[in-house]
Amino acid sequence: MENAKKKYYITTAIAYTSGKPHIGNTYEIILADAIARFKRAQGYDVRFQTGSDEHGQKIETRAIEAGQTPQEFVDETAAEIKRLWDICNTSYDRFIRTTDEDHMKQVQKICRKLFEQGDIYKGSYSGIYCGECEAFYTESQLVDGKCPVCGGDVHPMEEEAYFFKMSKYADKLIAHINSHPEFIQPVSRKNEMMNNFLLPGLQDLCVSRSSFKWGIPMDFDEKHVVYVWLDALSNYITGVGYDVDGEHGELYRYWPADLHLIGKDIVRFHTIYWPIFLMALGQPLPKQVFGHPWLLQGGEKMSKSKGNVIYADDMVDLFGVDGVRYFCLHEMPYENDGIITWELMAERYNSDLANTLGNLVSRTIAMSNKYLDGVVSNPGVTEEVDKDLERVVTSAYKVVVQKMEELRVADALTEIFKVYKRLNKYVDETEPWILGKDEAKKDRLATVLYHLVEGLCISTSLLAPFLPDTAAEIFKQLGTQCRSFDVLEKETFGGYPSGTKLPEGNQMLFARKDVKEILKQTEEITKKQKAEFEEQQKKARENLIKAGRLAPEAAKEPVKETDNEEAETLIDLEKKPEVTYDDFAKLQFQVGIVKECEAVPKSKKLLCFKVQIGSEVRQIVSGIKKWYTPEEMVGKRVMVLTNLKTAKLAGLESQGMILSAEDADGNVCVMTPEKEMPAGAGIE
Q: Kindly state the average pLDDT of the residues 455-472.
A: 98
Asked if residues 312 and 324 have their Cβ atoms less than 8 Å apart, the reply is yes
| Residue range 355-365, pLDDT digits in tens | 999 999 999 99
Cross-strand bridge partners of residue 121: 163
Region 556-573: what's the mean pLDDT?
34
CATH code given to domain 581-683: 2.40.50.140
Please check whether residue 655 is in contact with residue 619, taking contact to mean a CB–CB distance below 8 angstroms. yes
Report how far apart, in Å, the C-alpha atoms of 455 and of each of 271, 395, 434 are.
43, 11, 21
568 Cβ contact partners less than 8 Å away, ≥ 6 residues apart = none
- What's the average model confidence in pLDDT over 202-215? 92
Instruction: Flag the least confident range among 149-163, 464-478, 491-505.
Output: 149-163
Specify whether the CB–CB gap between 510 and 349 falls below 8 A: yes
Distances (CA, A) of 186 to 30, 182, 256: 19, 9, 20
Whether residue 81 is predicted with pLDDT greater than 90 in this model: the reply is yes
Q: Average pLDDT of 103-117?
A: 97
Q: Which tens digits make up the pLDDT trace of 112-156?
A: 999 999 999 999 877 888 877 777 777 877 888 888 877 888 888
- Does the pLDDT at position 188 exceed 70? yes
Between helix 321-331 and helix 409-430 the angle, nearest 10°, is 110
Higher-confidence residue of 337 and 641: namely 641
Average pLDDT taken over every residue of the chain: 90
CA neighbor of 328 nearest in space, from 14, 636, 31, 13:
31
Q: Which CA distances in Å does 502 have to 144, 449, 482?
A: 67, 12, 15
pLDDT for residue 372 is more than 80:
yes
Confidence band, pLDDT 50/70/90 cuts, at residue 581: low
Task: Please say whether the beta carbons of 203 and 159 come within 8 A.
Answer: no
Q: What pLDDT, in 10s, does the model give residues 439-452? A: 999 999 999 999 99
User: What are the backbone dihedrals phi and psi of residue 338, each rounded to the nearest 5 degrees, phi first?
Assistant: -100, 165
Question: Residue 247, exposed/middle/buried by CB under 10 A (0-12, 13-18, 19+)?
Answer: exposed
Rounded to whole angstroms, the Cα distance separating 626 from 197 reads: 21
Per the CB < 8 A criterion, the answer to whether 45 and 52 are in contact is no
Output the pLDDT for position 24: 86
Confidence check: pLDDT of 3 > 70: no
Question: Which band of pLDDT confidence, cut at 50, 70 and 90, is reported for residue 191?
Answer: very high
Q: Which of residues 577 and 102 earns the better pLDDT score?
A: 102
Higher pLDDT, 476 or 628: 476
170: CB partners within 8 A, 6+ apart: 198, 201, 202, 276
> Under a CB-based contact definition with an 8 Å cutoff, are residues 195 and 634 in contact?
no
pLDDT band at 566 (very low <50, low <70, confident <90, very high): very low
* Selection from 564, 293, 569 nearest residue 409 by Cα: 293
Distance CA 17, CA 68 (A): 14
Q: Look at residue 621 in the predicted model and tell me its pLDDT.
A: 92
Q: Where are the alpha helices (DSSP H) in 384-512?
A: 384-405, 409-430, 432-435, 442-463, 468-478, 485-488
Write down the pLDDT at residue 552.
Answer: 78
Gap between the Cα atoms of 210 and 227, Å rounded: 9
548 vs 449: which has the higher pLDDT: 449
669 three-class SS: strand
CB atoms near residue 617 (< 10 Å): 16
Is residue 369 pLDDT above 60, yes or no?
yes
Q: What is the DSSP-derived secondary structure letter of residue 623?
A: S
Cα-based angle 507, 511, 512 (whole degrees, multiple of 5): 165
Alpha-carbon gap, residue 490 to 325, rounded angstroms = 29
Over 60: is that where the pLDDT of 263 sits?
A: yes
Tell me whether the CATH fold assigned to 341-501 matches the one assigned to 581-683: no
Residue 315 has a CB neighbour count (10 Å cut-off) of 25
Which residues neighbour 94 within 8 Å (Cβ) at sequence distance 6 or greater? 49, 50, 51, 239
Cα angle 630, 636, 641 (rounded to 5 degrees) comes to: 95
Using the 8-state DSSP alphabet, how is residue 573 labeled?
P
pLDDT tens string 508-531: 999 999 999 999 999 999 898 888
**Nearest alpha-carbon partner for 303 in 595, 657, 22:** 22
The confidence score (pLDDT) of residue 682 equals: 82
Residue 297's pLDDT is 77
* Dist. CA 42–CA 59, nearest whole Å: 40
pLDDT at residue 66 greater than cutoff 90: yes
One-letter amino acid for residue 179 of the chain:
S
Question: Amino acid letter at 433?
Answer: W
Q: Which of 14, 9, 4 is nearest to 35 (CA)?
A: 9
Give the residue from 89, 1, 101 showing the smallest Cα distance to 41. 1
How much is the pLDDT for 574? 34
How much is the pLDDT for 576? Answer: 43
- Size of the chain, expressed as the number of residues it contains: 684
With CA atoms as reference, report the closest residue to 319 among 511, 80, 84: 511
Strands (E), 234-333: 259-263, 289-292, 295-297
**Residue of 450, 447, 458, 471 whose CA lies nearest to 419:** 458
3-class SS letters over 98-133 = CCCHHHHHHHHHHHHHHHHCCCEEEEEEEEEEECCC
Cα–Cα nearest to 170, from 280, 59, 10: 280
What is the β-pairing status of strands 295-297 and 668-670? unpaired
pLDDT value, residue 228: 84
Backbone phi and psi for residue 612, each to the nearest 5 degrees, phi listed first = -85, 125
Q: Phi, psi at residue 312, to the nearest 5°?
A: -65, -40
What are the φ and ψ backbone dihedral angles of 224, each rounded to 5 degrees? Answer: -110, 145
Partners of residue 592 on adjacent β-strands: 638
Confidence at 549, pLDDT banded by 50, 70, 90: confident
Q: Which residues contact 313 (CB under 8 A, 6 or more apart)?
A: 83, 84, 87
* Per-residue confidence (pLDDT) for residue 164, from 0 to 100: 96
For the chain, the domains span 341-501, 581-683
Q: Whose CA is closest to 321, among 89, 591, 669?
A: 89
Q: What is the pLDDT of residues 655-675, one digit of tens each?
A: 999 998 875 455 678 888 877
Given strand 135-137, what is the order of strands in its sheet?
135-137, 120-130, 155-164, 205-206
Domain 341-501: which topology? Isoleucyl-tRNA Synthetase; Domain 1 (1.10.730)
CA 432 to mean position of chain CA atoms: 42
pLDDT at 572: 29
Classify residue 373 by its DSSP letter: T
Please give the helix or strand (H or E) that residue 608 lies within, else none: strand 607-613
Mean pLDDT to the nearest integer, 408-425: 97
| Closest-CA residue to 226 (of 135, 161, 129) | 161
